Structure 1
Amino acid sequence: MTAITDDQNETGDRWDDGLIARRADGRPETGRTGGAAADGEGDGPLEGSLLAGDDHLPIGGTYGGPLRDRLNALRELLGLSQTRLDGKTLAEAGRVLDEAAARQRLSSRHTVVAIAGATGSGKSALFNALAGVRIAETGLRRPTTSAPIACIWSEGAAGLLDRLAIPGRLRRKPLAGGDGDEQLHGLVLVDLPDHDSAVVRHREQVERVLALVDAVIWVVDPEKYADAALHERYLRPLAGHAEVTFVVLNQIDRLPGEATDQVLDDLRRLLDEDGIALGEHGEPGATVLALSALTGEGVGELREMIGAFVQERSAAARRLSADVDAAAAKLRPVYVADGRTGLDERAREDFSARLAEAIGATAAGEAAEREWRRNAGRACGTPWLRLWRWYERKRMPGAASAEPPTPTEEEPTARQRVEQAVRTVADEAAHGLPAPWGQAVREAAARGAKGLPEALDELAAREAAETKGRPLRPAWWPAAVLAQASMTLLQIFGGLWLVGQIVGVLEPGLIPPVLVMLAGIVGGPLVEWACAAATRGPARRYGQDARRRLHEAAAGCGRAKVLDPIAAELMRYREVREQYAAVSGSTKPGPGAVPGGVRTRIG
């Protein structure tokens, strides 16, 4: 943000001196427009503006209406953006706020109008013609005007002239011993050096003063009205200031016949190409007219226009509003997004799914389902099958305690998946955002991603520990175990019955013990098969529940560490986008705004 110069900082002291001088002259200091002015409320664009001929209104005023709201929004916008945008980007907007504050402290009763033009355009002659007395030097020597000269039609403009750094020796009055025409009361007219002067200091003075005055009268002549330097360096960049711009075609006395109309039409065409709106048919825009400062033709018409312009007391607010428009136009690339922005529900779900996949939620669910079925087999299987499995484990030493080896690349792969998931969701959130805000979103995601893999590992370990403590059997399992035990007892009972018959303890009868044994032999596998079929649904649900818990845990961790910081940045962008809409005078956020509701709420 550009700093206020020493001359501007000293304005307050000089303004106080001027106020004391006016009191010494016997002029009353009253004139506050009432409590509304003190409170910053008002109907006009610059409160404190006086009615024509009233000398009792305050020196300064407060900006009212839409301009005040836009300035407040611009101030808020800069405050929200200082940590996201560099100083060079915000410098022009900061300068506008500084100039607004400086102009507000000075006289609202005066309108500062600068006369600018190229070498030999006759701007000094026009300056003298408007003043009605020879003030600026004219002649063939170039450059004729080496420093800004001011002509003041009423008292109280000392602070404004101090702000323009015009010394007292270059301040004049239009007529000796009087204030000049009443219609120009409040006008401060400044004659500038040539904008195309060969002296660099002259051009620097022109640019400095043009940035501070309320309005500009551009003087062109029939030879240089189409000068590229004028149009490209001054008129085109200031196209938004059309309402405080006068373009005067001077020296029409040198044009024969209808040549004046032809040159004037061509000048209007060039201004239209520059983007300058022309104030024709009652529409707001630049005023274009032809005159001759030498013969006086058209000078009276210009005086009337300037007089009406000055008496409106709105030039300062118009100029400042145009400055705000220009600053908003420069800031547009860093505030207006390309299309819709934000994270939708699908992007958040995809991010959670990637994190869950990175910590092995699917594999954990499948493992839990297998564990459930394995426990079902152990509890409901036939004793002989369980005995065979035990024998197989004993026959292969180490098989019982052996666990599948963990691939050496599994942990790095999981970390890479987490980082990739974070990059993906950050890119989706930053898509379409202006570069500074997109970078802020990515940085917020990167900061949140630090420690995310470790946090996910802790969640997975805690979930696994909790899972081991949970019972893996449904309520009907005791009945299944009892049925399997009954089938085993039938086999044992049938076998003992048959042995008793063989040894002669029991009466012979082969069929009953065989049937009992067959019932137990066939019933055991049937019970085991029925249990296996019955456990498919619960095992699947148990695995899905384990996967869901891990998924929710991963989603909560990712939301806290990544999605919430992203949402905060998107909300901050939404705030600055709304403030920018207020600065630019748009009531609608536009297509680049972050919509509310689901798209901006993370979590």
Structure 2
Amino acid sequence: MKLLRRKEGPSLDTRVTALLEAATLGEGRLPEEPVAEARAVAERAGARSGLSLDHTVAALAGATGSGKSSLYNALAGHDLATVGVTRPTTSTAQAALWDGDGAGPLLDWLEVPQRHSAAPDQELGGLVLLDLPDHDSIRLSHRLEVDRLVELVDLLVWVVDPQKYADAALHERYLRPLAGHRDVMLVVLNQVDRLPPAAAERCVRDLRRLLEQDGLAGVPVLPVSARTGAGLPELRGLLGERVAARRSWSARLAADVTAAATRLDGRAEPVASSSNGRPEPAASSSNGRPEPAASSSIGRAEPVASSSNGQAGPVALPKGVGQGLTAALARAAGVPLVVEAVAKGHRHRAVVATGWPVTRWVRRFRPDPLRRLRLGAAVTAGRRGRPELEAAGRGEVVGRTSVPAASAVQQAQVETAIRDVGESAANGLPAPWGQAVRQAARSHAAELTDAVDRAVATTSLDATRRPRWWGAVNALQWLAFATLLAGALWLGALFGMDYLRLPQPPLPTAGPVPWPTVLLVGGAVAGVLLALLSRLLAWLGGRRRARRTGKALRAAIAEVSGELVLEPVREELDRHRRFTEALSLARADG
């Protein structure tokens, strides 16, 4: 029988690394505040994990008159903090240490200069207890000090009194925004000696009710009297358990990572900000278990897995997302005009190359349709020594073609197609990432026109290649013309001899027809027939080449649109995928 084991979640190191990666990927796409917070949490986690892990820093925080300093002295066993009537009494944080060897760098990082040795107590060995200023102090510097240390300490002990335990400032500024930190939080109802036992019990029940409304159900609530000592053994025992576990620091950092990841997640429930700028995560986002202590420093974690099997494939765009854009770019680039020019240009050059030599020179006076669009430079490349033509012969495009510029309607169609690509790809994404995808689709819009024009010019060079049969037909044409010329010269010679009354030489015949006549008429008929047959083949070849060129042009334009529009969109979608995976890993329970 196999024993089923709960699959362990990612380590704290891994989660912090994932949070930092998510913040890096979200930079420039998400608001600056959550990104900066995520980086600060990662930096804070790295700093805390490099300091003493044998000490647990607990902070006594509360409002004016709640008795923090009295409780601090009672736990320390000495009168370390001044207790007085004038408020506020505590102006700066001070620390009481049980077995404080090695805690110096940790307190330096916390910037707590006042340090005291507490009464020896093996149960609290390793505890560093801070007495914080009042969180509702009339002095701003006191409130800022509380806010700073509340973000850094390992364990938060909120001290309230029967009169102010329901204070809105405490619940709205601190407790509710820290709902995800229930595992590193205690609430102490101090001064219960002022109430009858039944009234104290009612206060405890009401305080638990308020904590449940804040999302802090299950947080220990201890009734204590620092003056009489009631409840102090229970508080001391609970602190001793947390210190002995040596997990408060990692649980605190894990909760910080979860809260920062929740703020980064654009798909999460709206995050409300409290008056001190802290996020208020949704009630469902909480880390229900303490994070096990990490064995290595933050930042040495394994890389974030990009998929379930560790292999991240390319992000696929919705099917057919680029077809409309390719069609719009093809119309704007004048592809129909170029295709028609390819067919006409093929027939024109075929006539020049294979027509009857007697009349083909007339065709040279007609312009080549491709040459008029500056798409036929390769035909004469290298013949005239012109650099631009030689570059065209090497497949390089110099300058723009003469294809008519896109009309306003065609430009609007291209812009609409680009917008449709962005909208289609951004469908279902959170607003910040959807905007980033749409912006990526438009990021190279200014380069599209020239890039498509170069693609049309380069692809159209293949349309000027001479078929091999042109050379063979041209040779036959010149042979027929030579035959015609030979017959004409022979007959001319005979005519001259007859005119000069010279004796006629023997005249060979082909049947009843003399050979000079056969050569003259046969050469002419053969040339005309070859020219007519070549025109028919040129017409068929022009149609075939036009179809092939149109297909190649659309493929080239699709490649350009893929490079300048679809690829940036795909990269942005891939960035969002990696962001989501990193965020999911950062929010995973340990």
TM-score normalised by length of structure 2: 0.65
1:456 is matched with which residue? 452
CA contact (8 A) 1:418 1:453 kept: no
Alignment map for 1:494-573 (pairs within 5 Å): 544-573=547-576
The Cα offsets for residues 430-481 of structure 1, whole Å up to 9 and x where unpaired, read as 344445544444444434333321232233344445335466999xx9xxxx
Please state how far the C-alpha of 1:119 moved relative to its aligned partner.
Answer: 1.3
2:244 to 277, 297, 311: 311
Partner of 2:388: none
For 2:116, the aligned partner's letter is R
Partner of residue 107, structure 1: 52
Q: Identify if the C-alpha distance between structure 1 residues 363 and 144 changes in structure 2 by more than 3 Å, giving closer, same or farther.
A: same
Q: How much has 1:277 moved relative to structure 2?
A: 3.3
- Please state how far the C-alpha of 1:342 moved relative to its aligned partner: 6.4
Q: How many Å apart are 1:402 and its aligned residue?
A: 12
Unpaired segments of 5 or more residues in structure 2? Answer: 1-7, 271-314, 351-365, 374-401, 474-531
Give the 3 Å change call, closer, same or farther, for CA 552–254 of structure 1 in structure 2. same
- State the alpha-carbon separation in 2 of the partners of residues 351 and 367 from structure 1: 23
Q: 2:189: which partner in 1?
A: 249
Q: After superposition, what is the alpha-carbon deviation per residue over 1:342-379, rounded to whole angstroms, capped at 9, x for unaligned?
A: 62121022222222232233455567679999999xxx
Pair 218,80 (structure 1): closer, same or farther in 2 beyond 3 Å: same
For residues 569 and 407 of structure 1, do their structure 2 counterparts lie closer, same or farther at Cα, with a shift above 3 Å needed?
A: closer
Q: 1:586 to 1:306 in 2, by over 3 A?
A: closer
CA distance, structure 2, for counterparts of residue 410 and residue 122 of structure 1: 79
Aligned to 2:203: 263
2:217 aligned to 252, 257, 277, which one? 277
Residue in structure 2 matched with residue 13 of structure 1 by the alignment: none
Match status 1:160 vs 2:160: no
Sort the Cα spacing of 1:144 and 1:471 in 2 relative to 1 into closer, same or farther, 3 A: same
Equivalents in 2 of 1:585, 1:287: separation in Å?
A: 25
Tell me the equivalent position of 1:579. 582
Pairwise CA distance, 1:570 = 2.2
What is aligned with 2:152? 212
Query: How many Å apart are 1:251 and its aligned residue?
Result: 1.8
Distance 1:101 1:553 in 2: 50
Out of 333, 343, 347, the position equivalent to 2:321 is 347
1:554 Cα deviation (Å)? 1.0
Q: Of 80, 84, 88, which residue of structure 2 is paired with 1:139?
A: 84
Contact persistence 1:241–1:319 (CA under 8 A): yes
More RCO (CA 8 Å, sep 6+):
2
Structure-to-structure mapping, 1:205-244, within 5 angstroms: 205-244=145-184
CA distance in 1, matches of 2:326, 2:404: 25
In structure 2, C-alpha distance between the alignment counterparts of 1:256 and 1:91, rounded to whole Å: 49
Q: Deviations over 1:26-52 (max 9, x none)?
A: xxxxxxxxxxxxxxxxxxx9xxxxxxx
C-alpha distance in 1 between matches for 2:172 and 2:44: 24
Q: 235-244 or 345-354: which moved more? A: 345-354
Contact 2:318 2:424 in 1 (8 A): no
Relative to structure 1, the CA distance from residue 473 to residue 367 in structure 2 (aligned partners, 3 Å threshold; closer, same or farther) is farther
Partner of residue 12, structure 2: 67
CA distance in 2, matches of 1:277, 1:89: 26
8 Å contact from structure 1 (residues 214, 244) kept in 2: yes
| Distance in 2 separating the partners of 1:110 and 1:402 | 88
C-alpha distance 470-422 of structure 1, shift in aligned 2 (>3 A): farther
CA RMSD in angstroms comes to: 4.4
Distance 2:39 2:408 in 1: 49
| Aligned CA distance change for structure 1 residues 126 and 342 (closer, same or farther; 3 Å) | farther
Tell me the equivalent position of 2:118: 174
Maintained 8 Å contact 1:336/1:577:
no
Q: TM-score, normalised by structure 1?
A: 0.64
Question: Does structure 1 retain, via aligned residues, the 8 Å contact 2:334–2:404?
Answer: no
Cα deviation digits, residues 115-164 of structure 1 (max 9, x gap): 11111112222212212232222232222222212111112222222222
How many angstroms apart in 1 are the aligned matches of 2:206 and 2:544?
Answer: 83
1:148 corresponds to: 93
Counterpart CA distance in 2 for 1:407 and 1:453 is 12
Contact 1:77–1:579 (CA under 8 A) maintained in structure 2: yes
Is the contact between residue 459 and residue 554 of structure 1 (CA under 8 Å) also seen in structure 2?
yes
Which residue type is aligned with residue 63 of structure 2? A
State the partner residue of 1:122: 67
Residue 322, structure 1, aligned to residue 267, structure 2: no
Q: Secondary structure, in 3 states, of the residue corresponding to 1:451?
A: helix
Aligned counterpart, 2:223:
290
- 1:428 corresponds to which residue? 424
Q: Residues 336 and 225 from structure 1, CA distance in 2 versus in 1: closer, same or farther, beyond 3 angstroms?
A: closer
1:256-281 per-position Cα deviation (integer Å, ceiling 9, x unaligned) = 24222222121111111111231xxx
Task: Count residues in correspondence.
Answer: 447
Indicate if the aligned counterparts of 2:59 and 2:156 stay in contact, CA closer than 8 A: yes
